[in-house]
A and B are shown apart, each in its own frame.
Chain A
Amino acid sequence: QSALTQPASVSGSPGQSITISCTGTSSDVGDDNYVSWYQQHPGKAPKLMIYDVVNRPSGVSNRFSGFKSGNTASLTISGLQAEDEADYYCSSYTSSTTWVFGGGTKLTVL
Chain B
Amino acid sequence: QVQLVESGGGLVKPGGSLRLSCAASGFTFSDSYMSWIRQAPGKGLEWVSYISSGPSYTNYADSVKGRFTISRDDAKNSLYLQMNSLRAEDTAVYYCARRFTAGRYNFYGMDVWGQGTTVTVSS
Contacts and interface: CB of A to CB of B under 8 A. Distances in A.
A36 B109 contact: yes
Contacts of A69: none
A9 B71 CA distance: 37
B32 to A, nearest CB: 14
B109 A48 contact: yes
A51 interface: yes
Contact of B116 (A45, A57, A103): A45
A48 B52 CA distance: 20
A64 interface: no
B45 interface: yes
A8 to B, nearest CB: 10
Interface in A18-44: 32-36, 38, 40
Nearest to B57: A97
Secondary structure call for the A interface: strand
Contacts of B45: 38, 40, 46, 89, 91, 101, 104
B85 to A, nearest CB: 19
A97 B108 contact: no
Interface string A38-79: 101000011110111001010000000000000000000000
Contacts of B100: 48, 51, 57
Nearest to B98: A48
A93 B63 CA distance: 17
Contacts of B116: 45
A51 B111 contact: yes
Nearest to A33: B108
Given A46-B37, A91-B45, 9 more contacts: A33-B108, A38-B110, A46-B95, A46-B113, A91-B109, A98-B60, A99-B50, A101-B47, A104-B44
